[in-house]
Amino acid sequence: MSEPRQALIIGQPNVGKTLFMLQFAAYCGLQQALLSVAEPQATKGSAAGVPLAWSQARRQLVSSMPNETRRLQSLDFQLPRRKLQKKISLWDSTGLTDSIHQIPQVRLAMAQTLQALRRAHIVLHLLDAHRIGDEGETAIGTIDRQIAVYAPLRGAYAICANKMDLPGARRGLRHIRRTFSGQKIFPISALQSTGFRGVQAFVWQQL
């Protein structure tokens, strides 16, 4: 059996990457969260954690504080479509900032994210449509633009405009569409699991 293809979730801190991973895996039919974890400084690849129920996983992993995730964590599951299934490994990563972070652990975790970006087959780039709607295009970081240039050169790439359930997200989506014209853009809400169908179909095509 070959290695499953890696889909990497990437984006600025606090755009909802971890929540998206958990919700998307649940949407695809995964029963519980059995996370594989790769610590930035670990010598070995990854260690499997304890299986968690979804609510538990959400409580433990998701937070409204930026840079809560400081390691690569992944879920392996079967992506269903009609009667077929394909194996996939969905990776959640540390949020990337435009500037150099002052905490060394976070910097190391970001380096780890970048390393994953270098290897991923599929890149799902999350943007916070709500914040971009509020603050305008300044909320789209240099890092976002850089990823949008770099990632498509290496493999499959799509943008997920997250937090579509919040006010002002539509305006944010318009900004995103204008800035990243030519890229695949899916408006989603990780919290409410909406818009996942398009993402699923896109990921399926790349497997």
Residues that bind another protein (CB under 8 A): 40, 96-105, 107-108, 110-115, 117-118, 141-143, 145-147, 149-150, 152-154
CB closer to another protein, 109 vs 164: 109
CB closer to another protein, 117 vs 158: 117
CB of 150 to another protein, least distance (A): 5
CB closer to another protein, 2 vs 50: 2
CA angle 133, 134, 138 (to 5 degrees): 80
Residues 6+ apart with CB under 8 A from 154: 118, 120, 123
Give the integer Cα–Cα distance in Å for 150 and 152: 6
Is 203:88 a contact under the CB 8 Å cutoff?
yes
CB of 146 to another protein, least distance (A): 4
CB closer to another protein, 155 vs 168: 155
CB of 18 to another protein, least distance (A): 18
DSSP, collapsed to helix, strand or coil, labels residue 96 as coil
Give the integer Cα–Cα distance in Å for 132 and 51: 35
CB of 124 to another protein, least distance (A): 16
